[in-house]
Structure 1
Amino acid sequence: MKIIYVTVRHHRYTMRSYIEPLAEQGVDLTIWSYDNLLDAVRLPKAVYILSDFDRLHPWLWEVLGRYVDLIRAGGGKVLNDPRLFRPRHALIRTLKAEGINDYTCALPALGEWPERYPVFLRTLTAHRGVGSDLLEDRAAAEAALDTALKAGHAIADLLFIEFAAEPIEGARGPVYHKLSNYKIGEAVVPTNGVFQDVWEAKYGTVGAGSDESYARERAEMADDPNGPLVARVFEIARVDFGRVDYGFYKGRPQIYEINTNPMMHAVSRKAHPNADREEAIRIMRENVMTAFLALPVGVEAGVIDVGEIAGKPDLPVRTLRQP
Structure 2
Amino acid sequence: MINFVTTRSHGYTVRHLIRQLGNARHWSYERLFRQKELRSGTWVFTDHERLSHFEIALAAGVANRLERGGARVLNHPARVLGRHDLLKALHAAGINCFSAWRCESQPRPNAFPVFIRNEFDHLSADFELIADQPALEAALSRMKANGIPLAGKLVIEYAGQEVSPGVWQRFATYRVGDRLIAHHNVVDFRWAAKDVQDKQRLLAHPMLATFVENERRFVVGNLYEDVLRRAFDLAGIDYGRADFSLVDERPQIFEINTNPAHGSHGAIYRETHPGRVETQKLSEDRLYAALRDVDLPAGGRIGLDDPALLPQQAFRRLFTGLKRA
TM-score scaled by length of structure 2: 0.88
CA distance, structure 1, for counterparts of residue 319 and residue 230 of structure 2: 34
Change (3 A) 1:263 1:314: closer
Aligned 8 A contact 2:62 2:309 in 1: no
Which residue of 63, 69, 72 maps to 2:67?
A: 72
- Counterpart position of 2:208: 210
- Counterpart position of 2:14: 15
- Counterpart position of 1:284: 283
Structure 2, unmatched stretches of 5+, are 321-325
Change (3 A) 1:73 1:311: closer
Change (3 A) 1:16 1:164: same
The answer to whether the aligner puts 1:168 opposite 2:173 as a matched pair is no
- Counterpart position of 2:323: none
Q: Relative to total residues, which structure has the larger helix share, 1 or 2?
A: 2
- Counterpart position of 1:63: 58
Aligned 8 A contact 1:120 1:131 in 2: no
Aligned 8 A contact 1:123 1:131 in 2: no
- 1:54 to partner: Cα distance: 0.5
- 1:315 to partner: Cα distance: 6.8
Partner-residue secondary structure (3-state), 1:225: coil
Change (3 A) 1:314 1:246: closer
Deviations 1:229-258 (A, max 9, x none): 111110111101111011112332211111
- Counterpart position of 1:257: 255
- 1:263 to partner: Cα distance: 0.9
- Counterpart position of 1:33: 28
Which residue of 116, 138, 158 maps to 1:121?
A: 116
Change (3 A) 1:305 1:65: same
Aligned 8 A contact 1:101 1:253 in 2: yes
Aligned 8 A contact 2:187 2:196 in 1: yes
Aligned 8 A contact 1:122 1:130 in 2: no
Change (3 A) 1:38 1:313: closer
Partner-residue secondary structure (3-state), 2:167: strand
Aligned 8 A contact 2:66 2:302 in 1: yes
Aligned length: 312
CA distance, structure 1, for counterparts of residue 126 and residue 218 of structure 2: 33
Deviations 1:113-142 (A, max 9, x none): 222111101122233436841111223212
Which residue of 188, 196, 205 maps to 1:196?
A: 188
Aligned 8 A contact 1:50 1:79 in 2: yes
Partner-residue secondary structure (3-state), 1:122: strand
Aligned 8 A contact 2:187 2:211 in 1: no
Partner-residue secondary structure (3-state), 2:284: helix
- Counterpart position of 1:181: 173
